[in-house]
Amino acid sequence: MSRSSSIRKEQAIGENRSGSNGPDTMYVVDLIENGRVIETRRLPGKSESFARDVAENWDSGLIQLLTE
């Protein structure tokens, strides 16, 4: 089982944290196993550091997903 992750920024349109309706961005982490994206986690309002922690936790096996 090979795990990796990918962090990217994605535009989020709609009401943002400041209450305005302008474009905003959020971090997105793709959780990858055996070359296939298993889950995409959108992290609105979270920092780059938080996104890195999610990616590291997935890569190290700390995050376990229930799959059929």
Which tens digit of pLDDT belongs to each residue from 10-41?
Answer: 987 765 566 665 558 899 999 999 999 999 99
| % of the chain beyond a pLDDT of 70 | 82
In a domain, residue 30? The reply is: yes
- Give the pLDDT band (50/70/90) at residue 1: confident
- The whole domain housing 30 covers 3-47
In a domain, residue 41? The reply is: yes
In a domain, residue 25? The reply is: yes
| pTM given for the model | 0.82
Please tell me the total count of domains within the chain: 1
For the purposes of burial, counting CB atoms within 10 Å of the CB of 55, is it exposed (0-12), middle (13-18) or buried (19 or more)?
buried
Residue 44, pLDDT > 70, answer: yes
In a domain, residue 39? The reply is: yes
In a domain, residue 58? The reply is: no
In a domain, residue 64? The reply is: no
Residue 56, pLDDT > 50, answer: yes
